[in-house]
Amino acid sequence: MTLIIRKYNEGDEKGIVELLGLCFGKLDPLKCLMESWEWRYRQNPEGPGIEIVAEDNGRIVGHYGIIPSRFHLEGKDILLGHASDLAVHPQYRRRGLFLALFKEVDAFLREDTAFVGIVGFPNRITYRAYFQKLGWRPLGSIPLFFSARFPFLFKVLRVTRDRAIRTQDKGILPSRISFRDFHLELLEGLQGLQGQENTSFKGFMRARTKEYLQWRYMGLPDLGYTVYGVWKGGCIQGMVVLRPFEYRGVVVVALMDVVPFPIIDTDTSRELIERLIIQAHRKGADIFVAGLWAKGLDLALPKGLFHLPDFLNPRPWVVGYKAIKEDFLATDLFFTLGDGDII
């Protein structure tokens, strides 16, 4: 075995995609597509991704990706590396490759004057390594909330359910806010609202610029996002991003992002989510999932949502970071499922 840890070279992408497909393809078939790799590592408006690979006799057996990501922290812009696509070939696991890959990533980013740190979402397998061996700091976890409909109850209570839905539809938002299909040209109308979001929230949050939103939610159609504009009084007020998918025969709709946050105010944002829950179930979703972490903002839990404890969550969204060039500490935080879904 001649194992080499090195930076990405042109032409490595074929071996990288094959490795990602082997490690993640059953759960995320998009990892098997070259278009998905190009979107993450070549089309990002913040610049091309950074990739460190482990090679054995010409074969890619390990990979660690970094996606350049702009964040706001207490009113100023910082550039972080978003950790992504950590993969080790099954035959090469438990040999220290993960630690070796990360150390090379860490050294590379220290040479680049633009990056101040790394942020990511360690899973249960890598949690201890990140926080006990690699110097990461935990920021907490994105709480997951859900609303479920049970078909057998709905059959019994169909009349009651339909009457309740009609009543809720009339009482929540239509007189104030409407949903419409979102088009690229509407991103221009969000820029002023985004500026208000960035200045009003003094904590730690992703800089959701027009270029980022276009790339993140519209750049790879295979991801299946549905984007709606939120309107009031004939003016665009924001956008919401949903991702419908099927998991073991269960139809799920996930709320990925709300831009800006809050839309108008926290009460309107809560009512907005309540309306989305109703619409999702009316269109056949068995489960509606929302993961918005707005520590530092007072948002009451929308009606119909229940908190899913981390120990019951098959994939807890733990957030962590490591400072590289300057120490920073985030207390008020804003993350969404859209921040973690990219990995």
For 195-210, what is the mean pLDDT?
70
What pTM does this model have? 0.85
- Cβ-proximal residues to 202 (8 Å cutoff; 6+ apart), any chain: 74, 75, 296, 332
Both 55 and 15 in a single domain?
Answer: yes
77 pLDDT exceeds 90? no
CATH classification of the domain holding 306? 3.40.630.30
pLDDT tens column, 29-46: 889 999 999 999 999 999
* Burial class (CB within 10 angstroms; exposed 0-12, middle 13-18, buried 19+) of 237: buried
pLDDT tens column, 154-177: 443 443 344 444 434 443 444 467
How many domains does the chain contain in total? 2
> Which range of residues forms the domain containing residue 283?
144-318+331-341
324 is a domain residue: no
Least confident of 118-127, 134-143, 192-201, 221-230: 192-201
Both 104 and 39 in a single domain?
Answer: yes
pLDDT tens column, 233-262: 788 888 999 999 888 888 999 999 998 888
Q: Distance between CA atoms of 1 and 8, rounded to whole angstroms?
A: 20
Both 154 and 273 in a single domain?
Answer: yes
**185-203 core/surface letters (b: 16 or more CB in 10 A; e: else):** ebbeebeebbeebbeebeb
